[in-house]
């Protein structure tokens, strides 16, 4: 199964991209890096520049129909850039409309808030997003990983890099059920 990893050109938390990427790949799926611009993305280790990664597809030139699921890595800047890009927001929202699994970690639910898809759902995130999630109609919980099956698809969320093992396991379980 092809899995879209949606990131902005700059600001993704590297470990929140690479750990789920490895888990998806090791499980026999095909991870695909989708961004708002062609070329490379710049990952970060918190506030310090880390590695760069080649973009496989540009969000304006692809659709959810090409993928079985979506992963939204965090980092503070990454989802902030994504939520300001109409095509990126529409791309994320289309996975919900198609009933495909979505996984989001740390600050990544900001993109989902912008897409207006958290209403009626229970999710977790970095704690500073709790008010945004509540204001968007979601229920925020402080848990290592939250799997929400409300609506047509499954949403897997986690709070931070320390939760990556549980996040990856829950997402892979969701993929095996999809």
Provide the CATH number for the domain around residue 79. Answer: 3.40.50.880
Range of the domain at 150: 2-177
Mean pLDDT of 66-84: 97
The whole-chain average pLDDT of the chain stands at 97
Mean of pLDDT values over 45-49: 94
Count of structural domains within the chain: 1
How far is it, in rounded angstroms, from Cα 145 to Cα 104?
A: 10
Predicted TM-score (pTM) of the model is: 0.97
Task: Using the predicted structure, report yes or no on whether residue 74 has a pLDDT greater than 90.
Answer: yes
pLDDT of 67 above 90: yes
| SS3 (DSSP) at 87 | helix
Mean per-residue pLDDT for 75-90?
97
Structure confidence at residue 150 (pLDDT): 85
pLDDT tens-digit profile of 3-41? Answer: 999 999 999 999 999 999 999 999 999 999 999 999 999
Report the catalytic residues: 107
pLDDT in tens, 50-61: 999 999 999 999
Cα separation of 116 and 138, whole Å? Answer: 10
* Residue 178 pLDDT exceeds 80: no
Beta-bridged to residue 14, according to DSSP, are none
pLDDT at 152: 82
* CB-based contact 135:116 (threshold 8 Å): no
Angle separating helix axes 164-177 and 14-26, nearest 10 degrees: 40
């Amino acid at each position: 199964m092809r899995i879209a990893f949606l990131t902005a050109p700059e600001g993704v938390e590297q470990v929140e991209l690479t750990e789920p990427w490895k888990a998806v790949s090791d499980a026999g799926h095909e991870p695909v890096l989708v961004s708002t611009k062609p070329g490379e993305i710049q990952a970060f280790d918190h506030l310090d520049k880390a590695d760069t990664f080649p973009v496989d597809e540009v969000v304006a030139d692809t659709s959810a129909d090409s993928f079985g699921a979506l992963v939204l890595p965090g980092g503070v800047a990454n989802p902030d850039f994504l939520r300001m890009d109409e095509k990126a927001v529409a791309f994320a929202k289309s996975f919900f409309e198609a009933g495909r699994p979505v996984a989001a970690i740390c600050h990544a639910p900001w993109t989902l808030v912008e897409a207006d898809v958290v209403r009626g759902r229970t999710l977790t995130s970095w704690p500073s997003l709790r008010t945004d999630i509540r204001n968007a109609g979601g229920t925020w919980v402080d848990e290592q990983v939250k799997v929400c099956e409300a609506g047509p698809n499954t949403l897997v969320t986690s709070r931070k890099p320390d939760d990556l093992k549980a996040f990856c396991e829950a997402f892979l379980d969701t993929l095996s059920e999809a």
